[in-house]
Structure 1
Amino acid sequence: MASGRVFVVFLLPVILSVLFGSAVMADILDKPDRELNMWPMSYSDGVLSHSSSIEIIGLSKQYSTSEPVEIQIKINDSSFDCGDLYVTIYSAGKSDVITQGGFFEQCFVKGNQILPIGDKFSKAIDIPGNYEIVVDMVSKQLKNISISGTFSVK
Structure 2
Amino acid sequence: MTTECPTAPLLQYSDFLTLNDAGPLRVFLASRLSALTAHLDDGSEEHFAATALTEIAVADGQHLAQLLEQWEEVLAHKNEPQGPAQALRQDVRLWWNRLARLAARWSDHPDFSPRWQELRYFNAQHHTFVTSAEQTRSFTISRLAN
Q: What is the TM-score when the length of structure 1 is the normalising length?
A: 0.24
Which is greater in Rg?
Answer: 1
Higher helix content, 1 or 2 = 2
Instruction: Give the structure, 1 or 2, with the largest relative contact order (CA under 8 Å, sep 6 or more).
Output: 2
TM (norm. structure 2) is 0.25
Structure whose residues are more often strand by fraction: 1
